[in-house]
Structure 1
Amino acid sequence: MAVNAAKSGGRVVARHGGALFRLAPVSGLSTSTAAMTAQRISHYLAHHPRATWEALSAAVPAAPLPHGHVDAVILSLAAKNSHTSSPELVARNALTFFYWSASSSSSSQSHSLRSYCLLVHLLSRAALIRDASVLLQSAIAKHSSSPASPFLDAFFAAYEDSGTAATTRGLHLLVHAYARARLPEEALDACHYLSQRGVVPSLAAFNAVLHAAQRSGRFGVAWEVFELMTLKRVYANQSTVELVIGVLSRSGALARMAALVERIHGKKCAPGVVAHVALTLRIFEEGRTEQGILLLRRILQRNMVFDDIAYSLIVHAHCLAGDLKSACEQRDDMVRRGCRLNSFVYTCLIRVHCSEGNVDEALQFLQEMLSIGLKPYDATYSHLVAGCFRQGRMEEGSEYMGKMLHEGLVPDNGTCNEMLEALCDSGEVSKANELLTAVMDKGVVPDQNTYLRLINGYGKVGDAQGIIKIYHEMEHKGLNLGVDVFTSIIRGLCQCRNLKEAEKFLTVVQRKILAPTSEMYDVLISSNCEKGNTKKALWLYDKMTENDMAPSADIFMMLVKRVIKAKPACSSNC
């Protein structure tokens, strides 16, 4: 098939199989003439067996194409469902025209985002996935923005404008393209965008986003993708489960989650069960109880978790929400359905009773648990110990702590801090220190809050050396000490009436390039006033004003009264 071209009088004449194409003069094209030219070019591309660059240069005007001319040509091809030409042939010719018009020396404009989008849908319809992917990645690199909504709007509009000839293949390809570009957040946005418009991404597309999120360490995005696909009834396959297990492993939560599932069910479960339990727990911990229960019921219908695991997690959700009545009703429903109660369910009920101060009811659940042969674990004891110490029942709490340590179990930092706070508030700081040493020997690593409780405790009993020792221990462990730590140290030393050491720590704060707080100055001013050192209190007040700070109203009045009281004494001496 030959193409003959001749230029005469500003026209280009192209012959194709005996048919004569007369394209309008280039200069001064009207809107209607430009539209006619676009139709003729699209007709040429739709019926020519192989549009080469040479043939296009002969058949298409060589001068700059009007704005939107390329869009119109591709739109005409994308919206046309030709029965006479192969979709692959039309798409390849359109791609050739696209590249030719972009690189032609006569072309003065780069392609619009709309041109890219229309052509991607045309290529996708023809199953030219590789070409469509390359073009889509190029479009993302040139036209994508943050947020991705303008790009998504343009891409979906091109899909709709393609008419009945369009397929959703290009829409799924967009999710893949974002994932390949290592843009998991944008890929997730695309998944949400398409889902809201009735186009649910394919399982392969969701897996691609999961893979991108896992590789880039965006674990939060990975969980959102896993949740969305499950809620949209796109259920996980083996690749999905492997990716989610990879997220759990890389975030350090896999062993804990597998142990929890085994504790509920009584034996080890498949990775798919662990993955879905982890997702559900994450939703519950975010306070989205209803959404988590909905998701749980869906995966239960698909036999992706066991009945006892599902009902146990629902009990856990109600306990997290503080709805003890619903939690107990769900536990009773478990029994009616023939599910075996487990230590996880009892621990959830014990936790909510202890948090509400009902330690006696929690102990009843413990006895019921032991009576049916269930064994308490570290969380069970931790909740009981913390509950006892909060209620001032320190002997009982210490007894359960002893059982816990005897069984080789270790409390978490939150439980340790509850115990230390209760002991320090009661003035038993030495016992608190001994307790901390004992749990540290078992592997507990104290955090900043742990040491803050000891600092406050030493301040209440007037042990300045104890405070200083805690400070040096924190420094030795390399903890990042902020102004809240130094505020507690200064307050504690002032309680011990060791103002000289307290002022030294004010200097330490400045040396560490930290900004002293008004609370630090308030404590020092009030302590000096109480001690009768008015001159020092005024000096500290001056320092406050130099740093654009002002004392609280109570401290200011205390300082004023002290100055007024000091003046008569000065006058009588004079």
Structure 2
Amino acid sequence: MTLQAKEYFEKAAENEEAGGHYNLGVLYLKGIGVKKDVRMARKYFITAANAGQPKAFFQLAKMFHTGIGLKKNLGMATALYKLVAERGPWSSLSRWALESYLKGEVGKAFILYSRMAELGYEIAQSNAAWILDKYGERSMCMGESGFCTDTERHQRAHALWWHASEQGNEHAALLIGDAYYYGRGTERDYDRAAEAYMHARSQSNAQAMFNLGYMHEHGEGVPFDLHLAKRYYDQALENEPAAKLAVTLALMSLWIRTNYADSFWVRLIDSLPELFPKVGAWVGDVVLDEGNATILTLFVCLLTVLYFRDRQRRRAEIALPPHPNEHDIPAPFVGCKRLEVGNWELGLEGNFTELKFNLSDLHLYLNSSGSGHSLSDEGPEYLHHGVMVWGFSFLYHPVAWACKHQTFIFFSKKFNYIKFTNSIIEKVLIELKDPKDAKPALKFFHWSSHKPNTNKIEHGIQSYCLIIHTLVRARFLIEARALLESVVKKSSNDGSSSGFIVVEMLFSSYKSMDSIPLVFDLLIQTYSKLRMFDIAFQACKYIEDNGFSCSLVSFNTLIHVVQKSDRNKLVWKIYEYMIVKRTYPNEGTTKMMISALCKEGKLQKSIDMLDRIHGKRCSPGVIVNSSLVFGILEEGRIDEGIMLMKRMLQKNMIIDDVAYSLIIYAKWKNNNLKSALELYDEMLRRGFRANPFLYTLFINGHCKEGRVEDAKQLMQEMQNMSLKPYDETYNVLIEGCSRAGKLEESLEFCEEMLNEGFLPTFSAFNEMVAKLSARRDVDRANAMLTIMLEKGFIPNEATYSYFMDGYGSEGAIQEVLKLYYEMEYRNHSPGLLAYTSLIRSLCRVGKLMQAEKYLRVMEDRSIAPSEGIYESLISGHCQNGNRIKALQLYNETIKKELKPRSGSFLELVEQNYNAGLQKENKVLDA
């Protein structure tokens, strides 16, 4: 039957039936009637998927998911799973909607697409939004009071486009950006338009890249930046070669704007959007096929004219503009003497009557009347290549004024041959601290470090901090973040500081720059991004100690990156500090802390503890906060933990009964059982119920103090109140009873524990085994171990060591060897404890040769023998009268720098003395 089915499937595949290819793939994948061959299965599944078979997509998704047949790729697996989901039975709605649209039933198509959009179908979201935008009232869209108004339609279309863009539809994000840019259905908002274009750009949409370049060119919604505009235009051309004409024209516009700032040509380009409708009508009169050629010809002519004019201008002598009028000069310069640089005069304070600097001849004339400064005091110094280092303290006033009131090209020409010092730059930046001067300040900052014709100056950290303050006040956050990242890297690579100096510098300049606290949040986020966790946390403390508060966003950013780096202790320190400083977490913070608990492997433990206290599942926030307090108490910081818990109670961040239980735990942790019991009584009087967590605490306290009967009585009370004991309850009782010598009760609690489905801890079980071994009742412990092994208990080395000592003291050496072989069989490599017990047991029964054999096995396995092992061997040989061998082992002990107990030495001396071996005694005395 299988062979016959395979033949039919092959005939179907020959007829290009997708089902035939798919079923052949299944046969080869599972090895039904054919030899199992994953490669052949993959081949048929790919062919079926290309024919549109959903089941084939599913099989390929599984291959990508599991890495069987295809290289593991979770991204591809997710995409294919999504494709399968969208091709389910509900996809018939899509076909129905398309048929309705083709028939002209737009309203019906919109309703069907809307139903699919609610299911998360991306194509349906995009189509529904398109119908709303294109057909308006015909879309039959229903609003709050009948059919949708224009505003309601646009809002709904925006929402649908946004959902589609989140699923990877970059065209939808582009349409959202266009709506905000042109004000379609909403107020014009360049910032939100830029945000939408950035979302589309991240999905490699060339039109979005071009739009972002245009917005940077004109400073609409994003900072004015011609270099960034050119970068976006180039990216648009790389992603869409068909945009060559548009990008070429845009780059021409950039060239004109760069070389002819504030000229007629720039004003003409800026007026093009207003002239475009008229130009469009004119182009409409021209043959459409010749439209692009006509426009390109006009721009080529324009560029030719500009080129010849620029060449003529370069050849001619530069005619510098006259100095500004008296009323245009800022107040600090009115009525002052004038400094003339070239043909441009600047108002200056001082007794200078005339100061001229000729850039071509490098002559300086200084005629002073009165008690003015002499040239040797603080005049300019000349460097090579006509570069002048200006030393006058008043230079920053005209520089700042020029930055504010002159074009930057003009400014660059006037100050190109002056080399600025860091102190002058800092004073200029202080003069430009007003947010409206942020752009000139940023341009001056970059220009001063890349100024041509002079030696480049490297900005100091203080200069970076000053410009960052200004940019943050002006909300140029992208530029501020970039400079923060640069200055932090600069300071950390300096070697003399670790990057923390940036915090101190920002604080020292905070008041003089009239800054805002946001600058410190951006700094913390920059430290976090650069994975400088310790400095970031230290900066948080420094900021809080100096009267400012870090925002929740900054704390969340820091917690996120630290949690990703597996530094869990630091995560909890940051979270604790955040709450201490009254910055309270949100849902995002809680999610990150839950992830931290998962990574530590403590999430289930925390949930179980709260379930025992509260009786039902607590919210994630309570789980996180309770884990924080419990961790603090575990560290012994009792007062800090209680204080933090009280603050959480005030903000309802923790439940009352949980808080009471943790405070009682703190009292118990502080070895104050009496106070804990008193607080427990108060808790009951206030109407709170007892819980297994507290009973286990009290049972543990009584066991530690040796009052086992009181602990057993509390256990009985728990069971009478229908409070279910858990594993820790049984463990403390087993350990407590064993220490008190009540081994029968210990065994009973162990059996009860196993019946309840729990397994004892190593410490509890080993304590019981040790006491039973000492009482020579090791068989009962071994029988219990057998039951526990069947339930999944895996004994450790100490467990086997106690059993070996027990059987060794009874002389049952075969049982000791069985335990040793069992360890080997379970791949539980014996260590020092096991070998000590084994060799000690062999020496007790006089099997010294075998004991020495295992001594050599130890050494071969690089396990260093202890003093106890050598003492057992020396004692055994002495008892057998083999004094020479005993002496050899003693010397071997000394060579290995071990210190055998004095009893071994005395026993060896006594044996030698009785035998009359005085010579050997002399060796020992030496």
- What is the TM-score of this pair, normalised by structure 1? 0.85
For 1:372-395, what per-residue CA distance to the aligned partner results, in whole angstroms no more than 9, with x for missing partners?
A: 332222222222222112111111
Which residue of 1 is the match for residue 889 of structure 2?
540
Which residue of 1 is the match for residue 175 of structure 2?
none
The one of 427, 441, 458 equivalent to 1:76 is 427
Which residue of 1 is the match for residue 439 of structure 2?
89
Distance 2:620 2:527 in 1: 28
Which residue of 2 is the match for residue 431 of structure 1?
780
Per the alignment, in what secondary structure is the counterpart of residue 235 of structure 1?
Answer: coil
For 1:356-411, what per-residue CA distance to the aligned partner results, in whole angstroms no more than 9, with x for missing partners?
A: 21111112222332333322222222222221121111111222222222222332
User: Cα distance, 1:214 vs. partner?
Assistant: 1.8
The one of 413, 418, 421 equivalent to 2:767 is 418
1:488-503 to structure 2, matched below 5 A, reads 488-503=837-852
What code does the residue aligned with 2:786 have?
T
| Residue 753 of structure 2 is aligned to residue 404 of structure 1 | yes
User: Cα distance, 1:324 vs. partner?
Assistant: 0.3
User: Cα distance, 1:224 vs. partner?
Assistant: 1.2
Which residue of 2 is the match for residue 511 of structure 1?
860
User: Cα distance, 1:98 vs. partner?
Assistant: 6.1
> Structure 1 342/35 Cα, relative in aligned 2: closer, same or farther at 3 Å?
farther
Tell me, yes or no, if the aligned pair for 1:116 and 1:139 is still in contact at 8 Å: yes
Distance 1:399 1:146 in 2: 68
Distance 1:290 1:179 in 2: 31
Moved more, 267-276 or 163-172: 163-172
Which residue of 1 is the match for residue 415 of structure 2?
59
Which residue of 2 is the match for residue 127 of structure 1?
475
Gaps of 5+ in 2: 1-260, 263-317, 322-338, 349-355, 358-378, 921-926
The one of 43, 54, 76 equivalent to 2:400 is 43
Tell me, yes or no, if the aligned pair for 1:312 and 1:345 is still in contact at 8 Å: yes
What code does the residue aligned with 1:171 have?
F
Distance 2:800 2:453 in 1: 72
| Residue 489 of structure 2 is aligned to residue 141 of structure 1 | yes
Distance 2:575 2:402 in 1: 43
Distance 2:623 2:412 in 1: 59
> Structure 1 534/568 Cα, relative in aligned 2: closer, same or farther at 3 Å?
closer
What code does the residue aligned with 2:482 have?
V
What code does the residue aligned with 2:869 have?
M
Which residue of 2 is the match for residue 461 of structure 1?
810
Tell me, yes or no, if the aligned pair for 1:136 and 1:177 is still in contact at 8 Å: yes
User: Cα distance, 1:314 vs. partner?
Assistant: 1.1
User: Cα distance, 1:492 vs. partner?
Assistant: 4.1
1:204-219 to structure 2, matched below 5 A, reads 204-219=553-568
Tell me, yes or no, if the aligned pair for 2:525 and 2:554 is still in contact at 8 Å: yes
> Structure 1 270/95 Cα, relative in aligned 2: closer, same or farther at 3 Å?
farther
User: Cα distance, 1:218 vs. partner?
Assistant: 1.4
> Structure 1 207/541 Cα, relative in aligned 2: closer, same or farther at 3 Å?
same
Moved more, 281-290 or 148-157: 148-157
Moved more, 227-236 or 546-555: 546-555
Root-mean-square deviation (Å): 3.6
Which residue of 2 is the match for residue 256 of structure 1?
605
Tell me, yes or no, if the aligned pair for 2:396 and 2:428 is still in contact at 8 Å: no
> Structure 1 146/98 Cα, relative in aligned 2: closer, same or farther at 3 Å?
closer
Distance 1:147 1:300 in 2: 46
> Structure 1 148/218 Cα, relative in aligned 2: closer, same or farther at 3 Å?
farther
Which residue of 2 is the match for residue 158 of structure 1?
506
Which residue of 1 is the match for residue 450 of structure 2?
100
Distance 1:120 1:95 in 2: 11
Distance 2:813 2:412 in 1: 90
Tell me, yes or no, if the aligned pair for 2:500 and 2:535 is still in contact at 8 Å: no
User: Cα distance, 1:35 vs. partner?
Assistant: 6.7
User: Cα distance, 1:340 vs. partner?
Assistant: 1.7
> Structure 1 203/560 Cα, relative in aligned 2: closer, same or farther at 3 Å?
same
Tell me, yes or no, if the aligned pair for 2:393 and 2:424 is still in contact at 8 Å: no
The one of 162, 180, 196 equivalent to 2:529 is 180
For 1:110-160, what per-residue CA distance to the aligned partner results, in whole angstroms no more than 9, with x for missing partners?
A: 444444444444433333222222233333334327999853244223322
Which residue of 1 is the match for residue 615 of structure 2?
266
For 1:67-94, what per-residue CA distance to the aligned partner results, in whole angstroms no more than 9, with x for missing partners?
A: xx33x345435655855x6153254235
For 1:504-527, what per-residue CA distance to the aligned partner results, in whole angstroms no more than 9, with x for missing partners?
A: 232123212344444433343233
For 1:405-461, what per-residue CA distance to the aligned partner results, in whole angstroms no more than 9, with x for missing partners?
A: 222233233322222222222222222222222223223332333333333333333
- What is the TM-score of this pair, normalised by structure 2? 0.55
Tell me, yes or no, if the aligned pair for 1:342 and 1:374 is still in contact at 8 Å: yes
Q: Higher relative contact order by CA 8 Å / sep ≥ 6: 1 or 2?
A: 1
User: Cα distance, 1:48 vs. partner?
Assistant: 5.3
| Residue 876 of structure 2 is aligned to residue 531 of structure 1 | no
Which residue of 2 is the match for residue 247 of structure 1?
596
Tell me, yes or no, if the aligned pair for 1:483 and 1:514 is still in contact at 8 Å: yes
What code does the residue aligned with 1:510 have?
E
For 1:469-527, what per-residue CA distance to the aligned partner results, in whole angstroms no more than 9, with x for missing partners?
A: 33343344444655455444434443444322332232123212344444433343233
For 1:8-62, what per-residue CA distance to the aligned partner results, in whole angstroms no more than 9, with x for missing partners?
A: xxx994888x747989635489xx964727735862576256656x954751556
Distance 1:400 1:240 in 2: 43
User: Cα distance, 1:219 vs. partner?
Assistant: 1.3
What code does the residue aligned with 2:442 have?
R
Percent of aligned positions that are identical:
33
Tell me, yes or no, if the aligned pair for 1:384 and 1:397 is still in contact at 8 Å: yes
Matched residue count: 555
Distance 1:14 1:511 in 2: 90
> Structure 1 235/535 Cα, relative in aligned 2: closer, same or farther at 3 Å?
same
User: Cα distance, 1:176 vs. partner?
Assistant: 1.2
Tell me, yes or no, if the aligned pair for 2:489 and 2:499 is still in contact at 8 Å: no
> Structure 1 88/445 Cα, relative in aligned 2: closer, same or farther at 3 Å?
farther
> Structure 1 157/182 Cα, relative in aligned 2: closer, same or farther at 3 Å?
closer
Which residue of 1 is the match for residue 631 of structure 2?
282
Which residue of 1 is the match for residue 151 of structure 2?
none
The one of 663, 670, 685 equivalent to 1:336 is 685
> Structure 1 476/232 Cα, relative in aligned 2: closer, same or farther at 3 Å?
farther
Which residue of 1 is the match for residue 652 of structure 2?
303
Tell me, yes or no, if the aligned pair for 1:343 and 1:369 is still in contact at 8 Å: yes
What code does the residue aligned with 1:59 have?
F
> Structure 1 86/493 Cα, relative in aligned 2: closer, same or farther at 3 Å?
farther
Larger radius of gyration: 2
Tell me, yes or no, if the aligned pair for 2:798 and 2:833 is still in contact at 8 Å: no
User: Cα distance, 1:272 vs. partner?
Assistant: 0.6
Per the alignment, in what secondary structure is the counterpart of residue 341 of structure 1?
Answer: coil
Distance 1:470 1:108 in 2: 78
User: Cα distance, 1:294 vs. partner?
Assistant: 1.0
What code does the residue aligned with 1:162 have?
Y
Which residue of 1 is the match for residue 164 of structure 2?
none
> Structure 1 255/205 Cα, relative in aligned 2: closer, same or farther at 3 Å?
same
User: Cα distance, 1:334 vs. partner?
Assistant: 1.0
> Structure 1 396/171 Cα, relative in aligned 2: closer, same or farther at 3 Å?
same
What code does the residue aligned with 1:88 have?
A
Which residue of 2 is the match for residue 354 of structure 1?
703
Distance 2:716 2:757 in 1: 21
Distance 2:504 2:847 in 1: 71
> Structure 1 535/166 Cα, relative in aligned 2: closer, same or farther at 3 Å?
same
Tell me, yes or no, if the aligned pair for 1:413 and 1:447 is still in contact at 8 Å: yes
Distance 2:532 2:822 in 1: 44
Per the alignment, in what secondary structure is the counterpart of residue 543 of structure 1?
Answer: helix
Moved more, 263-272 or 473-482: 473-482
Tell me, yes or no, if the aligned pair for 1:490 and 1:520 is still in contact at 8 Å: yes
Per the alignment, in what secondary structure is the counterpart of residue 349 of structure 1?
Answer: helix
